[in-house]
Structures are given as C-alpha cells and as structure tokens.
Amino acid sequence: MRYGEYEGSAEGLIQRELDRIEQERGVRILHAVESGSRAWGFASPDSDYDVRFIYVSSLEHYLSLRPAKKDTIDWVVNETLDICGWDLSKALSLARKGNPHLYEWAASPVMYRSSAEWGRAWEVARTYFACKPALFGYYGIAQSTKSDFLMDERVRYKKYLYALRPLLACKYIDENRAQPPVDFHELVRAVAPESLKPAIEILLARKATMNEKDTGPRIPEVDAFIDEALVKYGELAKELDDDAEKDWGPLDRVFFKLVATSTGR
C-alpha cells in the first residue's frame, strides 16, 4: 500500500497510524482490530480496511468539568483505510447495553494490537451480553440494509451478505442464547438452513471476484430467506424478555482501576 511517503504492507501503515493517534491525541490504545468484511471472511479484491480500536484517555480528561467530552476518534487515512475508535468509557457503557459492534470488535479474528488491561476489562464486560438488545441490533442492521440497498433488480452482492450475516446472527442468538461467531463461514456452518447453503456458496464465489460496487442479478433463495427472517426476528426481538444486566458496579470498578493504572496515577 502506498500513502504519501509510506510504501509497504497495509498492516505496517495501520500500525504507524495507530502510533500517530496515540502521540497526537494523547491516548493509549488498548485494543485494535479489523472490522467489516475482512474480519467476517468475505472481502472483495478492493475491500477497504476498517480498523476499530478502544482507547483510554488521561485522568484529566475524565475529571474535566466540560459537559460534552468527546469519546470517539475518527481517523480516515485514505479511501481504503478507515480508522476509528471509542473511549473506554463509551465502550464499557455500550457493553452494558449489548451493542453488537463492540462484542464483534472484542472477538475479531484480525487483531492489530491488544493489552492486558483490555483483557481484564473484557472479562467483566463480556458477562453483560444480552440476547434481546443483541438481536434488536442485528435485526436493525439487516432491515436497513434491505431497505437501502436490496430493492432494485440488480444488487451489490456485498449488501446481500451484509443482510444475511446479521440475520444468521439473529438465528444463532435464538437457538444458542449466546454471542454469535464473527466469522461468516462459521456462522453459516452453525445455523444456515441446508437449503440456503448452495445459494450462499454461489454468492460468496461471485463476490470474491467482484469489486465492491459491482452488481449482479437477484438470487431468489437469498431474497426469500431475508424476507422471512426479517419478519420472524422482528417479532422475536419484541417478544423476548429484557435480559440486560442493570448493575453498573462491576463495569465501574474495572473502569476506575484501568484509568488509574493506565494513566500512572
């Protein structure tokens, strides 16, 4: 990958930019991974790199009286490398709410860096996984993908997968009451109906040779599954009992400890 004076591997550029973020923003990155199609296992030849990270700020940042403290960092390098991160406070708050993106970042198979501090935080945060908010989150992703990108006669196969994956995640949650796998192939093996697997194989084979914006004819078997699953899991998300953990205590304690140790206070 070439960027300015840099010429080398994509991972080398990613590591360089993560170092720059720490230096220029005065934070410490605790965990950084790949998100999106490269983590899910169905990247196209021209797929972007979507790097996501969790960072801890200074003690002064957390103790500031300013009412609106920024808790995200957006760091777009170029058209193929997008890096963004969440402050530890935001990450742990979203863990309590069952945010599916955070749970996927924690389990991504493509890791750029991590730390013992993040490991301790995640041991606590992972216990807050809850089926109802996770299912709602995945259902919402699939629903918006369908309405925004899958209504024309020809569709981007990337978007088919972006609808299929969260719906299969809903099916996994329904059947296992647990966090679904990040890897799409593992998810397919675990819960995809046998009748759908041939269509998925065709879809994956075609996407592997297509660029991100290329389109193809609709696949009836995929359309049928998406439509039926949207109805089923939309209803299930409403019917499930609220299983979210309400106690902030464990998250507060691990947050206080990590901020104190990471900032050297």
Decide if 167 contacts 138 (C-beta within 8 A). yes
Q: Are residues 165 and 218 in the same domain?
A: yes
pLDDT tens digits for range 61-79: 888 887 777 899 999 878 8
Model confidence at 39, pLDDT cuts 50, 70, 90, reads: very high
Q: Are residues 73 and 95 in the same domain?
A: yes
Average pLDDT estimate for 154-170: 96
- Report yes or no on 139 lying in a domain: yes
Q: Are residues 120 and 36 in the same domain?
A: yes
Domain of 50 in residue numbering reads as 2-128
pLDDT at 137 over 70: yes
- Report yes or no on 143 lying in a domain: yes
Residue 23 CB burial class (10 angstroms; 0-12, 13-18, ≥19): exposed
Q: Are residues 25 and 122 in the same domain?
A: yes
Q: Are residues 119 and 83 in the same domain?
A: yes
Q: Are residues 26 and 102 in the same domain?
A: yes
pLDDT number for residue 3: 65
Q: Are residues 95 and 14 in the same domain?
A: yes
Average pLDDT estimate for 44-49: 87
Q: Are residues 122 and 159 in the same domain?
A: no
- Report yes or no on 218 lying in a domain: yes
Tally of domains in the chain: 2
Domain end marker among 98, 128, 158: 128
pLDDT number for residue 44: 85
Average pLDDT estimate for 162-174: 98
Decide if 83 contacts 18 (C-beta within 8 A). yes
pLDDT at 2 over 90: no
The CATH number of residue 55's host domain is: 3.30.460
Q: Are residues 116 and 10 in the same domain?
A: yes
pLDDT tens digits for range 11-26: 999 999 999 999 999 9
Q: Are residues 54 and 143 in the same domain?
A: no
Percentage of residues of the chain with pLDDT beyond 70: 97
Average pLDDT estimate for 186-211: 94
Domain end marker among 102, 128, 154: 128
- Report yes or no on 120 lying in a domain: yes
pLDDT number for residue 264: 56
- Report yes or no on 253 lying in a domain: no
- Report yes or no on 12 lying in a domain: yes
Q: Are residues 120 and 138 in the same domain?
A: no
Model confidence at 8, pLDDT cuts 50, 70, 90, reads: confident
- Report yes or no on 41 lying in a domain: yes
pLDDT at 210 over 90: no
Domain end marker among 82, 108, 128: 128
Q: Are residues 17 and 94 in the same domain?
A: yes
- Report yes or no on 247 lying in a domain: no
Percentage of residues of the chain with pLDDT beyond 90: 80
Contacts of 78 (CB under 8 A, 6+ apart): 3
Decide if 170 contacts 135 (C-beta within 8 A). yes
Buried b (16+ CB within 10 A) or exposed e, 107-116: bbebebebbe
pTM for this predicted structure: 0.92
Q: Out of 87-101, 175-189, 200-214, pick the least confident.
A: 200-214
